[in-house]
Amino acid sequence: MTAQKKIFLIINNNAGHKKGVRAIDIAVPILKRKGYSVEYSFTNHPGHATELAVKASADGFDLVVAVGGDGTVNEVAQGLIGSNIPMGIIPIGSGNGLARELGISMNMRKSADTLINGKNLQLDVCKLNEQRFLCTCGIGFDAHIADQMSLTSSRGFLRYVKLVVKESLFYKPLDVRMKIDSVQIEEPVFLITFANASQFGNNAFIAPDASMTDGLIDVVVVKKFAKIWMPVFALALFAGFVPKLPFVDCYKARQIDLEITNTQVLHFDGEPGKLKVPATVKLDTEKILVRCER
């Protein structure tokens, strides 16, 4: 007789205007009707999701589910990377980059169904120094916005757009020197993205050709450009043609050495962080399993 499958939900109830608690009323009954044993816990401090994921893995759960946004997904992943326990996602954040990348529905009932009927996909994991990330990491304007968003009391796409418009008027490019495999670059940049996935979130495609299973990191270098190009750049993000812009260079690499830059701010999977240079970006030796539609 087959043992009953056990699922553990890690819920960030601060994500998505406190929609996480809805998972108890919507997702949990769906899973239980299919014969699964379900337990859950709410996060209550930074890093708590990682602690809960590590414990759930040790306690023998068959699937550990992140209920939240990109930050929650990243934290849960930190506790499961290198294990044989897959991560599921019920996306309720403002960006939901990994969920969108993997075709996971923004509808909670449909994403709960994916936990039951989806397939496990083994994904690359990247890291900048010791900071692991699944989708994107970078410096420049997007990192500046992530840092500013962390200081606001409200989240959401509209708030993000307003902040981008405001900050773009006064933002000054960074000076950067780095080596992408054997290619040396030294010039002012608007932003640099190290991409494992194709998008930031909200279907904003910074690296349309990126793959999470090819063993390579896509590097998108957006060089200094006249502010009159800003609306075109924004359109290119959502239309998927950023690499075709005249001030954008794209590379595929195994390692990037960031030697000099005049910023201490970075972002990883949409969350702000502190940059220490010199820094190295490369693939982690470990991978992660994620339950998805593919």
Dump pLDDT digits (tens) for 35-52: 999 999 999 999 999 999
Q: Which residue has the tokens 């990994």?
A: 98
Give tens-digit pLDDT for 232-262.
Answer: 999 999 999 999 999 999 999 999 999 999 9
Alpha-carbon span 266 to 173, nearest angstrom: 14
Alpha-carbon span 229 to 237, nearest angstrom: 13
pLDDT bracket for residue 157 (50, 70, 90): confident
Q: Where are the domains of the chain?
A: 6-117, 131-284
**Cis peptide preceding 278, ω within 30 of 0:** yes
Q: Which helix (H) or strand (E) holds 232?
A: helix 230-239
6-117 belongs to CATH 3.40.50.10330: yes
Q: What are phi and psi of 251, to 5 degrees?
A: -140, 160
Q: Which helix (H) or strand (E) holds 288?
A: strand 288-292
Token pair of 189, please?
Answer: 């940049």
Q: Are 6-117 and 131-284 in the same CATH fold?
A: no
pLDDT bracket for residue 58 (50, 70, 90): very high
Q: Is the pLDDT of residue 55 over 90?
A: yes
Q: Is the pLDDT of residue 75 over 60?
A: yes
Would you state the CATH architecture of domain 131-284?
Sandwich (2.60)
Q: What are phi and psi of 123, to 5 degrees?
A: -110, 150
Give tens-digit pLDDT for 176-195.
Answer: 999 999 999 999 999 999 99
Alpha-carbon span 244 to 207, nearest angstrom: 11
User: Quick one: which of 84, 47, 45, 49 has its CA closest to 65?
Assistant: 49
